Amino acid sequence: MPNALSEALEILAQGGARIVAGGTDVYPAAKQGRAPEVYLDVKRIEGLSLVSQSDGGTRLGAAVTWSDVVAAELPAAFDALKAAAREVGSIQIQNAGTVVGNICNASPAADGVPALLALDARVEIESARRGRRDVKLADFITGVRQTDLAPDEMVSGIWIPPQEAASQSAFEKLGSRRYLVISICMTAVNIVLDRDRRIASARIAVGACSAVAQRLTALEQDVVGLAPDRVTVTPAHLAPLSPIDDVRGTSAYRLDAVGEQIRRAIIKAAGT
């Protein structure tokens, strides 16, 4: 149980340690009789529990929980992230689970990822040997349960660049029940409206519709200049997606529903 980041990184460099923060993914995935002998608890590490803001952007430390995000005073651009935080599992999960844990777990249905993509988030990675590096979130998650994280590295935080003051944001999650539900599909949108309330710029990210949540760049370009309620989502816009059939819904359904979900998220973000 290290108290300093440097100490933690040394433990990681020795190998075999399992990083745990809120435990909300570590324990459900635990296999009978196969627990590691060393757990590295990042919640004890000084300075990792803070949401900090400066001119350079916003930083979420590795131990920042969903409840911390909800409680933090953040600009409107973060509304989608806050909404996603409120949709993570339950109060119990939000009080324990961390945003960084969510991206490191790299579930295709990770609730936080679309909102972070729509904020252009970057991931801060540290190791004892190589020091600090940072990568775009879109490059950090490389596949289902796969990340660009070496065994001796840990994510120390998420950095979000300064957002336009006028940025408005919304999150939509579709599930088969109200609480404690894994998304069928979800959308996070950050948009800036011009004086005529037309879309000046947009970042639109979709989760649970491909191995890794992703932004729909063609759509982002095509919506520019449109009134928010005039957006149409075409199959071509959704071409980058490759949803699967699973117990939560069919691939065809996900593609069908996500188009409408995007439309609604844009309208919600615009506040119309």
Task: State the residues that interact with another protein by CB under 8 A.
Answer: 1, 18, 20, 22-24, 27-28, 31-39, 41, 43-44, 67, 86, 89-93, 95-96, 174, 176-182, 184, 246-250, 252-253, 256-257, 260-261
Return the number of the residue (32 or 54) whose C-beta is nearest another protein.
Answer: 32
Q: How many Cα atoms are found within 13 Å in the side-chain-facing hemisphere of 203?
A: 21
Six token digits for residue 6: 């440097």
Task: Write the DSSP assignment of 208-258 as a string of letters.
Answer: SSSSS-EE-HHHHHHTTTS-GGG----TTTTTT-----BTTB-HHHHHHHH
Using CA atoms, how far apart are residues 271 and 168, in angstroms rounded to an integer? 8
Minimum distance from residue 157 beta carbon to another protein (Å)? 20
Return the number of the residue (93 or 213) whose C-beta is nearest another protein.
Answer: 93
Minimum distance from residue 201 beta carbon to another protein (Å)? 26
Minimum distance from residue 212 beta carbon to another protein (Å)? 21
Return the number of the residue (27 or 197) whose C-beta is nearest another protein.
Answer: 27
Minimum distance from residue 207 beta carbon to another protein (Å)? 16
SS3 58: strand
Return the number of the residue (30 or 239) whose C-beta is nearest another protein.
Answer: 30
Return the number of the residue (215 or 263) whose C-beta is nearest another protein.
Answer: 263
Residue 193 vs residues 161, 189, 223, 231, 270: alpha-carbon distances, Å = 19, 12, 11, 13, 7
Minimum distance from residue 26 beta carbon to another protein (Å)? 8
Residue 148 vs residues 11, 124, 152, 165: alpha-carbon distances, Å = 19, 11, 12, 31
